Amino acid sequence: MNKYRFSTLLFILTLFSSFPLLAQIPQVPAELEFADLIVRINPQARREIQLDVDAQYRNPNYLKVKQERVNLYMPIIEDILRDNGVPEDLKYLVIQESSLIPDAVSTSNAVGFWQFKQGTAEEVFLRVDNHIDERKNIVSSTKGAALYLKKHNNTFDNWMCALVSYQMGLGGAKAYFGDRYNGKRIVDVDRNTHWYFKKFLAHKIAFESQIGVFTSNARMVEVPVHGPTTLSALAKKYGVTEDHLKEYNKWSSNGKIPGDRTYALVYIKEGTLSSQPAIIQDSKPKTTTTKQATSTSPAYKQANSFPRIAGNTTKANQPDQITVNEIEGVQAAQNTTQSKFSDQIGLKEKKLRKLNDLEPGERIEAGDYYYTKKKKTKAEVETHIVMPGETLWSISQKYGIKLSSLKSKNRIRKDSDLKVGMVLNLQEHRKRGEDIRIVKINQMPPKTVVAQSSTPTTSSEPQVRSTTPSSQKATTQRTHVVSQGETLFAISKKYGVTVNDLKSWNNIGSQNIISIGQKLVIFTP
């Protein structure tokens, strides 16, 4: 082969070897949806935007680093935008502004994730001084950005104008747009469209296919913290290094957290993403209720380890000692009233009710865990299978998810709508018109009716009596709350049942693992 042919072949091989990379770069469409708008892009604007999209993919190593940051922070950002009534599409703006670098500083001295100048930061109630700079706090700054964007959208009733006002200010955007886009739901993008919006579209197109494509097995955990305390003390509490907390919490410049308000602390938890499989993988259209055995369901087996308790469990009934599902909480030592319990843990009764979705007058139950900080809008796992005796409230407490969020995600409002075996969503909202799946619970006791019994149970949950048509033999359902030091063997002896019965009723795996505070369903003659 002569030198010319060799060079030509090498060029062709190089060209073809680049095709897979080129194929991965998203292409700008002629039309797309943004927030509640239809955006139509003419050919000249598409070419312009495509150059910005291509630039994001030019350096694969940089793209991977950026992608990792995007997937760490986005679940938190999405929740905050949704809770504040801002379309989730606005999440791509934070990538455009700072590439999710917490201490990014612009040439105009804008700082942090959402690039606030000090005056604007203070307008949206962020603390900025020598000790604390909430512009570098992903939770606080995203709440501030949501407030800012929503306020401006109230003026325009058009999210494109609101977005551009983020760069120009409200006065500048009013002068630029006038009222020609107010209330419009179709936007045409051409060479005269504001550059900031076209730059935003490039980031949306570049990264929307990358959300959820994890490059590492890690996730970001958010916990509310009320000082005074230090990152050093919190590092011990959450089992991470102080340097780790400093890396992800640069908003605390001296490692100290004051007591003037509640701050959001974040840290990285490794090895959690792969342990959240969907409970059922079914590619068929869901036209009817699905039933499937759950004995091998990884997501269901995970439910037995909730609530997750960490910290000084020997003092679980004292405040500031434990976390429940990574939220500060406390275990009730005895049955009591909300008023007395609130006094014991140093919390106002009204706040206790709000944090735990309690109704006035509900009693505090011994062994139950109660939250002293806000619950989350989604759980760590994707789904939960409803078991006998469970209520919407008990499920929400089990996972540390707000009761309103649980109801909203599943479009269920009353306990009477629950059925044993229902697969409830704990992260994503059930689509309108989509049936709730029901799976078969292996070795479930037969049909149950409420029983009147003088025998006390270990909790305030109603006793349930089960009867079989074949033998007419009655059994009573009880709920046992696992205490420190208890084993399955000891619990089985207490109720006169076998360990295997306990395991099958509660779907406990071969490792015989139970946790403090776990509620076990027990059927006794």
Q: How far apart are CA 8 and CA 180, in angstroms?
A: 56
Three-state DSSP at 366 gives coil
Asked which of 189, 207, 225 is the last residue of a domain, the reply is 207
Asked which of 275, 291, 311 is the last residue of a domain, the reply is 275
Residue-level pLDDT at 28: 94
Return per-residue pLDDT of the chain as tens, 525 residues: 454 454 544 444 444 444 334 437 899 999 999 998 999 999 999 999 999 999 999 888 888 888 888 988 998 999 899 888 899 999 999 999 999 999 999 888 999 999 999 999 999 999 999 999 999 999 999 999 999 999 999 999 999 999 999 999 999 999 999 999 999 999 999 999 999 999 999 999 999 887 765 555 678 889 999 889 999 999 998 889 999 999 999 999 999 999 998 999 999 986 543 333 222 223 233 333 333 333 334 344 345 568 888 877 778 888 888 888 889 999 988 888 999 999 999 999 999 999 999 988 888 888 889 999 999 988 888 888 888 778 899 899 999 999 998 998 888 888 888 888 888 999 888 877 788 888 776 544 433 333 333 333 333 333 433 333 333 344 567 788 888 777 777 787 788 877 777 777 776 655 566 777 777 888 776
Same domain (yes/no): 118, 267: no
Q: Is pTM beyond 0.75 here?
A: no
- DSSP result, 447-483: -EEE---SSPPSSSSPPEEEE-TTT--EEEEEEEEPP
Q: 224 φ, ψ to 5°?
A: -75, 140
Same domain (yes/no): 118, 227: no
Residues 90, 84: contact at Cβ < 8 Å?
no
Residue-level pLDDT at 270: 67
**113-22-48 Cα angle (round to 5):** 60
Q: Is residue 320 part of a domain?
A: no
Same domain (yes/no): 257, 180: no
Q: Is residue 329 part of a domain?
A: no
Residue-level pLDDT at 73: 93
Cα-Cα-Cα-Cα dihedral sign, residues 181, 186, 190, 194: positive
Same domain (yes/no): 132, 169: yes
Same domain (yes/no): 118, 35: yes
Q: Is residue 182 part of a domain?
A: yes
Calculate the alpha carbon distances from 185 to 29, 45, 90, 191, 194 in Å: 18, 19, 16, 20, 17
Q: Is residue 186 part of a domain?
A: yes
Q: How far apart are CA 285 and CA 280, in angstroms?
A: 13
CATH number at residue 249: 3.10.350.10
Where are the extended beta strands (E) located within 35-159? 37-41
Same domain (yes/no): 226, 160: no
**160-165-171 Cα angle (round to 5):** 130
Domains held by the chain: number: 3
> Residue holding tokens 């996730």?
219
Residue-level pLDDT at 305: 66
Residues 520, 482: contact at Cβ < 8 Å?
yes
Q: What is the largest CA-CA distance in the chain?
A: 99
**What's the chain's average pLDDT?**
79
**135-193-166 Cα angle (round to 5):** 15
Asked which of 156, 189, 207 is the last residue of a domain, the reply is 207
Same domain (yes/no): 74, 147: yes
CATH number at residue 159: 1.10.530
Residue-level pLDDT at 508: 67
Same domain (yes/no): 109, 253: no
Same domain (yes/no): 473, 518: yes
Residue 398: CB partners within 8 Å, gap ≥ 6? Answer: 303, 306, 307, 384
Same domain (yes/no): 199, 120: yes
Q: 455 φ, ψ to 5°?
A: -80, 125
Same domain (yes/no): 188, 240: no
Same domain (yes/no): 113, 241: no
Calculate the alpha carbon distances from 467 to 457, 474, 499 in Å: 19, 5, 22
Q: Is residue 295 part of a domain?
A: no
Q: How far apart are CA 198 and CA 153, in angstroms?
A: 18
Residues 25, 51: contact at Cβ < 8 Å?
no
What is the span of the domain harbouring residue 507?
A: 448-524
